[in-house]
């Protein structure tokens, strides 16, 4: 169902929420999907109202019924340290955080990140004794009257008749509470317990002065992030603290100056002077003093409405880098929701002064980022979930529309190398989790270089990547393989040209994703990308060696079955072999899906399959079969292992199949790319509800980025690692797409894509013009896009099979 929109820009608006008055500062609200994004308002359409801004079209509830700890976001800035929102579930990495169908708020964590949590707070209004309260303080809430927007969250805690509003700067969470009249005003700080992926250990909290306290919590080590990580905080109120009560384990303490230990917490009793009650909570991974500095630098005032508006504007500015016209209201809303997801996660861990934790050694070391002439950090240091599959997502989208973000992330990765000797696969709290397999950051960094983003030490980066592609690097390690370097199978890859499956248990019984043929294919592609950088830098011998290794995928192809197939250590093929058996040698995939992981050499893959016509026919049949199941292995990542879902030849709910629709273009059948990429968008990435969204694992912007690229009709099979990177043209969803180019990096101002005569049943491209001149190929070069200009596509309900390049 589509809704008419009316924009409200309100200076100060008060409304009756659950029979309790609640004042909201300046905000703009919209009717978005099944939830009214303002309480007590009836929205009607008027022709005089301007078109909504991109930030107003974002639907934050998307897929939140299937949420995980770090998936949802509200009170946060792009890539900011703080990600503040209510937790309706707190136990475990999966099925935790903000879950739409859970109706109880357990607390408000400031960090929802890859393998990290903290600090959880809960406003209260209770006369219960502390011994009871510390175990029972959760409150029911309702989506009715809830407001969720990028940078803002508002809800009502029914148990306490207490209204909560949240916003944030990059490193400071900003809370606004309205307590019921003449009722106690308290805030509980939960310093222990299980929060998402982390069991919290030793903690401390102490009063700083009449209206502030400070302390830290400790994220204990996990299987993935093996070392503990401290999160420091400095919390300040706009009114005096009456007293501080605390507990440690089963022991309660009244009217104390602080507390320390395991399973600890505090309740701040406020004097209740004035309204509303405001609290600022600054975070640091370095020290409580740095947390205070973050607050003094980013939020020295108490103007909640100002911060809310600034957060909204920051999001809107980034989202506006890509402007779309045409399509339905729902399609536009979903597009900007996808783009919003592409610009979050991978959050900062460095402070405003550039200090950050380095946990790569035996002891935590405080690192210092390089500063610019103004004394500010040149870039931020980041946490990050895996870059596995990033070559088809953020490595394409960020350099195109947000090159500063791509540069920032690349420099952060190199800082890790300088600290630890490795470019990480998925850093968390200053240490690598070694999530997933291979060296997925190689195509990301090579893509940056080939696209002209060279504000980093290229020679240092090359040596770092070369090390990662050796027995001494991350390629030699399986997922989460911290204490050995055998599960990656590099010894066999270098000697035999393939990785056996299974590896001998005596050599490798530790680490995840030890999936020989899948690893062989991944390493071959990543070797190809490193070869391109070696060529660009004039390293001829390395170029030849990595190019030779990039052909190792040949050793996994079985002519008899027509699939990439596991091989035993003696070279024989696995018997029996079922290409649809899940994770039989392929990481989060089956052989039918994994066979297509040769994005760097589609011509070579076609030759193995008997020619391009046979490849196209085989892939087309795979899409026809996959369409019967909606192109995904169920509608959530948790479904992927289920027998009724996993036997699918194409899965657009996970990274291994992301590129498949564009293989047709590389094989000379771009009309099939146009058809199937549009079908995937319509089926997988068009829903707008809490129950559906990505039908799989979004992984901090990877699926969001993919959806954006499919909808604007630009895609890079190799992640843009050629000398002049190639973008294959798909089937744009909108009539007009305008990409603002960053002139700090690129010569052009805008690149505009126009899809003439576009509609749901017209996915095919009849003709192409670039800057008013006919184009006889179905791809663009990076140099053509960044020069600015206009791509004109004439759409049709019939394919143009003469357009084969």
The mean pLDDT of 433-462, rounded to a whole number, is 98
Between the CA atoms of 144, 175, 275 and 239, what dihedral angle is there, to the nearest 10 degrees?
A: 160
Q: What is the pLDDT of residue 508?
A: 76
Residue 41, pLDDT > 50, answer no
CA distances from 553 to 449, 496, 558, 576, 660 (A): 25, 12, 11, 21, 17
Per-residue pLDDT tens digits for 580-609:
999 999 999 999 999 999 999 999 999 999
324 and 333 Cβ atoms separated by less than 8 Å: no
What local confidence, expressed as pLDDT, does residue 637 receive? 87
Residue 7 clears pLDDT 70, i.e. is over it: no
| More confident site: 6 or 436 | 436
Res 718 pLDDT > 60: yes
149 bridge partner residues: 152
Question: According to the model, what pLDDT value does residue 2 have?
Answer: 33
Q: Check: CB of residue 634 under 8 Å from CB of residue 584.
A: no
Q: Burial, 426: exposed, middle or buried (Cβ in 10 Å; 0-12, 13-18, 19+)?
A: buried
pLDDT over 60 at 543, yes or no: yes
Indicate if the pLDDT at residue 215 is higher than 60. yes
Tokens representing residue 542 in the block: 């390395």
Query: Is the per-residue pLDDT at 527 higher than 50?
Result: yes
- Give the least confident one: 21-35, 96-110, 289-303, 710-724: 21-35
Lowest mean pLDDT among 15-29, 151-165, 221-235, 459-473: 15-29
**Band (1; pLDDT cuts 50, 70, 90):** very low
Half-sphere exposure of 476 (CA within 13 A, CB side): 18
The predicted structure's pLDDT at residue 507: 79
How confident is residue 13, by pLDDT bands cut at 50, 70 and 90? very low
pLDDT band at 48 (very low <50, low <70, confident <90, very high): low
Q: What is the mean pLDDT of the chain?
A: 93
pLDDT 10s digits, 151-182? 999 999 999 999 999 999 999 999 999 999 99
Query: For the segment 364-407, what is each residue's pLDDT rounded down to a tens digit?
Result: 999 999 999 999 999 999 999 999 999 999 999 999 999 999 99
Cα gap 107→112, rounded to integer Å: 12
pLDDT at 20 over 80: no
Are the CB atoms for 408 and 380 separated by under 8 Å?
yes
Cα–Cα distance between 720 and 535 in angstroms, integer?
A: 15
Which residue would you say has higher pLDDT here, 509 or 124?
A: 124
**Rounded distance, CA 707 to CA 119, Å?**
32
Residues 226-248: what's their mean pLDDT?
98
Measured between its terminal Cα atoms, the distance across the chain in Å is: 40
pLDDT, tens digit (0-9, with 9 covering 90-100), for 745-766: 999 999 999 999 999 999 999 9
Share of the chain above pLDDT 70, in %: 94
Q: Which CATH number does the domain 322-796 belong to among 1.10.238, 1.50.10, 2.60.40, 1.10.10? A: 1.50.10
**Could you tell me how far CA 184 lies from the centroid of its own chain?**
40
Whether pLDDT at 9 is above 90: no
Token code pair at residue 398: 């960020």
pLDDT digits (tens, 9 = 90+) for 332-364: 999 999 999 999 999 999 999 999 999 999 999
Out of 7-11, 253-257, 294-298, 436-440, pick the least confident: 7-11
416 three-state secondary structure: helix
Residue 453 preceded by cis peptide, ω within 30 = no
Return the SS3 of 44: coil
23 pLDDT band, cuts 50/70/90, is very low
pTM reported for the whole predicted model: 0.94
CATH 2.70.98.10, applies to 8-318: yes
Residue 312 in contact with residue 28, Cβ under 8 Å? Answer: yes
Q: Tell me the β-bridge partners of 76.
A: 83
Distance CA 775, CA 302 (A): 56
Spatial contact of 139 and 216, defined as CB atoms under 8 Å apart: no
Answer whether residue 702 shows pLDDT above 60.
yes
Please tell me the distance from the alpha carbon of residue 477 to that of residue 469, in angstroms, as a whole number.
11
Domains of the chain, residue spans: 8-318, 322-796
| pLDDT for the residue 39 | 32
Query: What are the φ and ψ backbone dihedral angles of 423, each rounded to 5 degrees?
Result: -80, 120
Q: Give the span between the Cα atoms of 728 and 781, in whole angstroms.
A: 9
pLDDT at 629 over 60: yes
């Amino acid at each position: 169902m589509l809704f008419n929109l009316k924009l409200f820009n309100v200076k100060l608006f008060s409304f009756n929420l659950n029979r309790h008055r609640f004042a909201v500062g300046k905000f703009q609200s919209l009717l978005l999907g099944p939830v009214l994004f303002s309480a007590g308002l009836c929205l009607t359409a008027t022709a005089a109202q301007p078109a909504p801004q991109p930030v107003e079209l974002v639907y934050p509830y998307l897929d939140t019924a299937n949420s995980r700890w770090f998936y949802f976001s509200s009170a946060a800035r792009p890539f900011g340290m703080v990600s503040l929102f209510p937790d309706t579930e707190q136990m475990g990495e999966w099925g935790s955080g903000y879950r739409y169908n859970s109706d109880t708020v357990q607390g408000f964590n400031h960090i929802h990140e890859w393998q990290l949590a903290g600090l959880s707070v809960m406003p209260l209004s209770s006369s219960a004794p502390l011994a009871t309260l510390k175990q029972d303080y959760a409150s029911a809430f309702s989506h009715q009257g809830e407001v969720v927007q990028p940078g803002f969250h508002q809800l009502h805690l029914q148990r306490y008749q207490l209204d909560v509003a949240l916003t944030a700067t990059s490193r400071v969470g900003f809370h606004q509470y309205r307590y019921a009249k003449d009722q106690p005003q308290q805030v509980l700080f939960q310093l222990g317990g299980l929060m998402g992926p982390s069991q919290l250990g030793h903690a401390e909290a102490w009063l700083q002065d009449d209206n502030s306290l400070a302390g830290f919590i400790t994220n204990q080590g996990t299987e993935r992030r093996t070392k503990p990580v401290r999160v420091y905080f400095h919390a300040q109120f706009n009114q005096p603290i009456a007293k501080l009560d605390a507990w440690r384990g089963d022991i309660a303490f009244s009217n104390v100056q602080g507390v320390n230990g395991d399973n600890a917490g505090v309740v701040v009793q406020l004097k209740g002077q004035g309204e509303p009650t405001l609290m600022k909570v600054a975070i640091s991974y370095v020290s409580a003093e740095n947390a205070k500095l973050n607050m003094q630098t980013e939020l020295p005032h108490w103007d909640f409405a100002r911060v809310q508006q600034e957060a909204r504007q920051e999001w809107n500015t980034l989202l506006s880098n890509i402007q779309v016209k045409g399509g339905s209201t729902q399609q536009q809303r979903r597009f900007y929701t996808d783009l919003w997801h592409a610009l979050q996660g991978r959050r900062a861990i460095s402070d405003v002064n550039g200090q950050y934790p380095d946990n790569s050694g035996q002891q935590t070391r405080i690192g210092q980022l390089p500063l610019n002439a103004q004394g500010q950090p040149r870039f931020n240091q980041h946490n990050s979930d895996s870059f596995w599959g990033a070559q088809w997502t953020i490595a394409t989208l960020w350099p195109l529309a947000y090159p500063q973000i791509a540069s920032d992330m690349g420099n952060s990765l190199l800082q890790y190398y300088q600290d630890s000797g490795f470019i990480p696969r998925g850093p968390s709290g200053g240490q690598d989790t070694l999530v997933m397999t291979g060296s997925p950051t190689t195509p990301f960094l090579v893509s940056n270089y080939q696209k002209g983003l060279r504000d980093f030490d290229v020679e240092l980066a090359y040596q770092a990547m070369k090390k990662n592609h050796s027995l001494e690097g991350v390629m030699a390690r399986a997922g989460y393989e911290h204490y050995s370097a055998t599960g990656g199978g590099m010894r066999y890859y270098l000697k035999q040209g393939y990785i056996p499956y299974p590896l001998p248990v005596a050599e490798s019984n530790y680490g995840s994703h030890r999936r020989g043929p899948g690893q062989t294919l991944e390493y071959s592609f990543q070797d190809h990308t490193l070869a391109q950088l070696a060529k660009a830098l004039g390293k001829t011998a390395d170029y030849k060696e990595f190019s030779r290794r990039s052909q190792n995928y040949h050793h996994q192809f079985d002519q008899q079955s027509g699939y990439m197939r596991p091989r035993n250590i003696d070279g024989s093929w696995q018997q029996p072999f079922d290409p649809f058996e899940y994770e039989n040698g392929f990481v989060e995939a089956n052989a039918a899906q994994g066979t297509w992981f040769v994005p760097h050499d589609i011509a070579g893959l076609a030759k193995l399959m008997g020619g391009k016509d046979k490849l196209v026919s085989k892939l087309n049949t795979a899409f026809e079969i996959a369409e019967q199941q909606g192109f995904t292995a169920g509608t959530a990542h948790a479904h992927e292992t289920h027998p009724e879902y996993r036997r699918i030849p194409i899965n657009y709910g996970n990274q291994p199949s992301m590129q498949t629709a564009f293989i047709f273009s590389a094989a000379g059948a771009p009309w099939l790319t146009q058809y199937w990429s549009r079908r995937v968008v319509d089926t997988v990435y068009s829903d707008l509800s809490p129950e559906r969204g990505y039908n799989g694992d979004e992984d901090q912007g990877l699926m969001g980025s993919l959806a954006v690229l499919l909808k604007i009709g630009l895609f890079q099979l190799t992640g843009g690692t050629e000398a002049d990177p190639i973008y294959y043209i798909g089937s744009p969803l909108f009539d007009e797409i305008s990409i603002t180019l960053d002139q700090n990096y690129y010569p052009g101002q805008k690149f505009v894509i126009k899809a003439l005569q576009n509609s749901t049943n017209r996915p095919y491209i009849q003709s192409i013009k670039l800057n008013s001149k006919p184009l006889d190929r179905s791809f663009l070069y990076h140099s053509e896009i960044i020069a600015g200009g206009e791509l004109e596509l004439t759409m049709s309900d019939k394919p143009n099979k003469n357009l084969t390049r």
